[in-house]
């Protein structure tokens, strides 16, 4: 199963340059890296990145993260994947630009 992380371009560029990341400021504050499932990621984009462009959508295999990935209740009690270690560039399955369109972010075909 793939899980998804939305990065601002500068955050993504830093991960690429350094080979790993502890995430965005909200991740650092919470002590884990926030991810979303395919069913959750559109709402995550709308809630936390509503007017932001120049974003990168990153897909990661949940199984490959092993015991460092925990499923914990968040919005509305739904279980969200949280990574309790640095995200390594080698963890990333793919990355794609997440442009902002007139009615919200434009997600890759077939994601939802």
Which pair of structure tokens corresponds to residue 54?
């120049």
Tell me the CATH number for domain 2-101: 3.20.170.20
pLDDT at res. 112: 63
pLDDT per residue, tens digit, the chain (112 aa), is: 999 999 999 999 999 999 999 999 999 999 999 999 999 999 999 999 999 999 999 999 999 999 999 999 987 889 999 999 999 999 999 999 999 999 999 999 887 6
What number of other Cβ atoms are within 10 A of residue 55's Cβ? Answer: 20
Contacts with 93 (C-beta within 8 Å, 6 or more apart), sequence order: 2, 59, 60, 61
């Amino acid at each position: 199963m793939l899980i998804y992380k939305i990065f601002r371009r500068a955050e993504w560029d830093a991960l690429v340059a350094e080979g790993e990341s502890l995430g965005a400021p909200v991740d650092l504050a919470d002590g884990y890296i926030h991810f979303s499932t395919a069913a959750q990621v559109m709402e995550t984009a709308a809630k936390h990145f509503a007017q932001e462009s120049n974003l990168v959508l990153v897909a990661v295999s949940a199984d490959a993260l092993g015991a460092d990935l925990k499923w914990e209740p968040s919005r509305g009690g739904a279980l969200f994947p949280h990574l309790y270690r640095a995200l390594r560039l080698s963890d990333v399955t793919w990355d794609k630009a997440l442009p902002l369109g007139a009615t919200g972010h434009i997600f890759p075909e077939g994601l939802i």
